[in-house]
Amino acid sequence: MRKSIIDFQKQKANRDKITMVAAYDYPSARALDEAGVDMILVGDSVAMVLLGHEDTLSVSMEEMLIFTKAVSKAAKNAFVLADMPFMSYQSSTYDALQNAAKFMKEGRANGVKLEGGSEFSECIRALSRASIPVIAHIGLTPQSVNAMGGYKVQGKSKEAAKKLIDDAKAVQDAGASMVLMECVPSKLAQKITQILEVPTIGIGAGKHCDGQVLVYHDFLGLHQGFKPKFVRKFANLNPNEGIKAYINAVKSGEFPSEEYSFSLENDEWIEELY
C-alpha cells in the first residue's frame, strides 16, 4: 500500500527525513519504489530532462498524464505526486479542479503539486475541499522564470524572506499538505520548517527541511547537461562509454556473438532455400 500524507506528518513529528525523487518512467519509478523512496514526483522538469525543452513551460497536461500513468504503474509503496504544468491551474479554480482530477483518476496519482504562494490560496483551498492532497511549491518557481528574470536564489533580503514566510503560512492555512522550497537560503528554510505544522521538502534549501528532493537523472549522473549547485551526484552512470563500446562491438563484428544469437540443431537446409 502506498504511503499517505498521514505517514509524512508522522515522519515530521519523529524527525524521520522524507525522501522524494523526481522521475518520469516505469523502470525508474520501479527502481525507486523497490529501493524504498518515500515519494516519487512526476515533475514538469520532464520538459527539460526528457523532452529537450529549454524550460518547464512547454510540457502539456496530456504529456504529464502519460508520464504519471507510467510512474503510477510501477509505484506500489511510494506516494506518487503529479506536477501541475504551466497554465493547468493558473487560469481558474475550475481548471485546477478539472486537471487535478485527471491526475487522480486517470494518472492514479496520490496528490498534486503546484507552484505559488498566497496568490493561489483559493485554488489550494478548493483542491483540498475536493480531498486532493496539495503540495505547494514556493521560493524559486520555474514556471515563473520569465517574471523572475532567471533561476535565482529567493528570499535573500529581509522583505523577500518575510514574503516567503507569509506565503508558507498562507498555503498551509489554505490546506496544503506539504510545502516544497526551492533555492531558499538554508537558515530561512529552517525557520519556515520550524514555523509550519506540515512537512517541508527542500531542493537547494539546506539540510533542515523535513525532506529532500532531487531529479533521478541528476543524482545518478544520467543527465550530462547543466548541473545546479544543489545537485550532488551519488553515482556517475554517464552512458557515453557504454554507447561507444556498443558501436565498436557492432562495427568489429564482435556483437552479436553466438551467446546472443539463436540457432537450430540442423540448419543445413537453410542453404538450399532458393
As annotated, the active-site residues are 182
Say if residues 56 and 45 touch (Cβ distance below 8 Å).
Answer: yes
> Around 109, how many Cα atoms within 13 Å sit in the side-chain half-sphere?
30
DSSP tag of 178: E
Residue of 82, 105, 78 lying closest to 24 (CA atoms):
82
Would you call 180 helix, strand, or coil by DSSP? strand
Say if residues 168 and 201 touch (Cβ distance below 8 Å).
Answer: no
Euclidean distance between CA atoms 61 and 99, whole angstroms: 8
Would you call 179 helix, strand, or coil by DSSP? strand
Euclidean distance between CA atoms 152 and 205, whole angstroms: 12
H or E element in which residue 21 lies: strand 18-22
DSSP tag of 60: -
Euclidean distance between CA atoms 127 and 204, whole angstroms: 27
169 dihedral zone (left: phi>0; alpha: psi -120 to 50; beta): alpha
The three cell numbers locating residue 100: 487535478
Say if residues 160 and 203 touch (Cβ distance below 8 Å).
Answer: no
